Chains A and B, each alone.
Chain A
Amino acid sequence: MIVLGKVALGIAGVAAAGVGLICSEGMIEVNMVERQPEAHHVYVLAPAAVVPMAVHFIPSHEFGHASAELQPWMPTIRAALDQLREVDDVTLVDVTEPGQHVVVAKKGGSVVVDVNDRDETVHVSAPIRAISSTIEQVAAASHDSPN
């Protein structure tokens, strides 16, 4: 009985450590509410660490020219994301048009995009570390691609 208890504790410990590891890079949150013609609501909350892992399993040719086009801009993207991590929270862009409002901000360690228009409301929040890892993976795919 005691051995079983120890095994159960071990499994629970490994599971907790796994969850902790997966959630260590924060969570990606997508919340989309369609207003017309029928109200649809999509809500996704996923561990950010999963995305770069998932990208790793996508065949490199699936990225098309994206990887090659990203390559020359990688120093700029790296500098931008590194600096974004360093700076205080800030609303980077706020655009208002009749019937539409778009906000791109840095909040905590995440980039947050909010789009509010007549038809839908979209909220996306992604940790900067996860964005960085994902872009690095996509850019690296150009080295792996056969052409």
Chain B
Amino acid sequence: MRKGLQSLAAVCLSAAMVAGTAPTVLAAPAERYLHIKVDDPSKGESVNVNVPLSMAEKILPTVNKGSLHNGHVTIGKADLNDVDVRAILDALRTAQDNEFVAVKEKDQEVRVAKSNGNIIVHVRDSGKEGQKVDVTVPMKVVDALLSTAKENELDVAAALRALSDAGDALLVTVQDATQHVRIWVDSHNTQD
């Protein structure tokens, strides 16, 4: 009788522990959003787009048009003047943190570097437009892009999944004389 009661108590305790931990274990991960913001104060124009990444992940594999098939994009070497994008990305992936490209011209400065698990591209154009471009791509996303077995393909769907798993990130900013573009990922469903 006493053993039976002890067993019952143990079962109840286990059930209570499972019930207590279940919500944390089963809690769905927060939705991630890809935000795009384009502002042109000179014309009083603005465009704000907020896309749930889970939605983009599900939609992309269903689009089969042009070079996009089942979430993979086919890269034609002819389109890129025989530049092997896959080989370049692979080289960047395996390289140590470093500045790989630094080009300085009269009106333009271009830098490509790998830092803290990100590929960073800076372009500064001090010409008439005064354009500044900053692109940051987490290496996880690059890895995912290259995760497909085919040589001439990039796995965009996997890259979106990787972006979803990565932390909050400012991916692209473009600033010129009139326009300001920002593309970033976070857990907020608004741009505020």
Contact = CB atoms under 8 A, between A and B. Distances in A.
B45 A79 contact: no
A86 B44 contact: no
What's the dominant secondary structure at chain B's contact region?
A: mixed
Contacts of A82: 58
Number of chain A interface residues as a range = 20 to 34
A33 to B, nearest CB: 23
Interface string A110-137: 0000000000000000000000000000
A92 B189 CA distance: 9
B58 A96 contact: no
Interface size class of B (residues with CB under 8 A): 20 to 34
Interface in A62-118: 72, 75-76, 78-80, 82-84, 86-98
B187 to A, nearest CB: 11
Most B C-beta atoms less than 10 A away, residue of A89, A97, A98: A97
Nearest to B190: A91
B58 A90 contact: no
20 contacts: A80-B58, A83-B58, A84-B55, A87-B52, A87-B54, A88-B52, A88-B189, A91-B50, A91-B189, A92-B50, A92-B51, A93-B48, A94-B48, A95-B45, A95-B47, A96-B44, A97-B44, A98-B43, A98-B44, A98-B45
The 5 closest A-B pairs by CB, nearest first: A83-B55, A75-B62, A94-B48, A76-B62, A90-B189
Contacts of A79: 58-59, 61-62
A89 B46 contact: no
B63 interface: yes
Given A88-B31, A90-B52, A92-B51, A83 B59 contact: yes
Contacts of B51: 92
A13 B58 CA distance: 43
Nearest to B43: A98
B189 A89 contact: yes
Contacts of A94: 46-49
